Amino acid sequence: MRKPTIALVAIAAAFVLLAFVLRSGDSVDAGDAGDTGDSVDSGVPTPSTTSTTDPTTSAPITTAPSTATALPTDVAVCDLYPGIARSGQVESPDLVEASGLAASRTTSDVLWSHNDSRGGAALFALTPTGGDLGVYDVPGAFALDWEDMSAGPGPGGDGAYLYIGDIGDNFDIRGGLVTVYRVPDADPASLDGAFGESTAMTYQYPNGGHNAEALFIDPIEPALYLVTKAHEVAFVFRGSLTPSDGPGDLDLVATLFLGGEVSGADMSLDGSTFAMRGYQSVWMWHRDTRISVAEMLTEEPCMAPSPEERQGEAITFDSDLSYWTVSEGSNSAFQVVNREP
């Protein structure tokens, strides 16, 4: 989200105060966030910029996990993404601020998205061409400023869930507290207008409030990560997926100087490929899954193809390691960057 009105800010401040009092770190049908691991501080230099406009052919989304393989020493992961293809456009008239995107891990050809600060606490199910598969409420949730979402396992590394980040804080009104909602990654055809359950997990930054618009799940640890949004620096914080009775700690694990704001992020299903996006850039890392996210982020990213979008804030990997994007705005285009074998 960029510049909400003063009235919206005042209303939002009142709602968030009420929401935190009522919620008090409790969950709906489950528990809250828990412990986090050790913190590591590291820097990444600003990468050089590359671009490509070669078209590719869009392919259906599948759910079978990809097999992580080492890259040849003379190949950067970005070299495997030759160009951008338009897949379709958002058909739902109610999805006008698509701020997050997640490819389902359980149901082929389903992507999930959500509005930013407009509308209620609900997820939109979409086909790879933008077709409308319905809107599904997240029970017990409050949508102050939903900024990103990701698919991933539960705290034990099993199961399939969707994580939605109520993490935006343009005017520093949260007091360092943010909320992430977890719902089962279900086939939308099996849902009757709402998810059967949700878990509200609250987290506390260690050093005051931050505005963040990027959330991703590392399936290897597993753990949750938030990336802050600022012009000069991006802080990467790690949180546990294990519920607890109170707000979970967020540990600072990396400090990045990318030369642009981070508006979204995602980790591939096998944990081998990671991307952050901005309004004009996609930064990508290849990861040896024997190392941590913090160690991965000490390496310099390469520049992957960045779709031209009016206000692009959403990115997700499918199980074939292709990545999908969509912009805020009515009837926005779905775009995909297919990965070569």
74 band by pLDDT with thresholds 50, 70 and 90:
confident
CATH of the domain at 163: 2.120.10
**Is position 286 within any domain?**
yes
pLDDT digits (tens, 9 = 90+) for 153-173: 999 999 999 999 999 999 999
pLDDT (0 to 100) of residue 44: 30
Average pLDDT over residues 28-41: 36
pLDDT exceeds 60 at position 335: yes
Q: What tokens does 311 get?
A: 């206000």
What is the C-alpha separation between 317 and 217, in angstroms, rounded?
Answer: 12
**Is position 225 within any domain?**
yes
pLDDT (0 to 100) of residue 324: 98
pLDDT digits (tens, 9 = 90+) for 44-62: 333 333 333 333 334 466 5
pLDDT (0 to 100) of residue 139: 98
pLDDT (0 to 100) of residue 73: 77
pLDDT (0 to 100) of residue 1: 53
| More confident site: 70 or 225 | 225
Residue 76's contacts (CB-CB under 8 Å, 6 or more residues apart) are 286, 302
**Is position 257 within any domain?**
yes
**Is position 77 within any domain?**
yes
- Mean confidence (pLDDT) of the chain: 85
Threshold 0.75, pTM exceeds: yes
What is the C-alpha separation between 80 and 88, in angstroms, rounded?
Answer: 23
pLDDT (0 to 100) of residue 244: 83
Coil vs helix vs strand at 287: coil
Q: What tokens does 214 get?
A: 């990027």
pLDDT exceeds 60 at position 116: yes
pLDDT digits (tens, 9 = 90+) for 188-201: 999 999 999 999 99
pLDDT exceeds 90 at position 179: yes
pLDDT (0 to 100) of residue 60: 63
Residue 176's contacts (CB-CB under 8 Å, 6 or more residues apart) are 204, 205, 207, 208, 209, 210
Q: Among candidates 285, 289, 288, which has minimal Cα distance to 297?
A: 285
Ranked by mean pLDDT, the top range of 4-13, 67-76, 139-148 is: 139-148
pLDDT (0 to 100) of residue 68: 57
Q: What percent of the chain has pLDDT over 70?
A: 80
pLDDT (0 to 100) of residue 63: 59
pLDDT exceeds 80 at position 307: yes
Q: Among candidates 297, 120, 277, which has minimal Cα distance to 213?
A: 277
Domain of 237, in residue numbers: 6-31+41-337
Q: What tokens does 56 get?
A: 């590719």
pLDDT digits (tens, 9 = 90+) for 230-268: 989 999 999 999 988 899 999 999 999 999 999 999 999
Q: How many domains does the chain have?
A: 1
pLDDT digits (tens, 9 = 90+) for 316-333: 999 999 999 999 999 999
**Is position 1 within any domain?**
no
**Is position 36 within any domain?**
no
pLDDT (0 to 100) of residue 119: 76
In this structure, which amino acid lies at residue 330? S
| More confident site: 222 or 16 | 222
**Is position 254 within any domain?**
yes
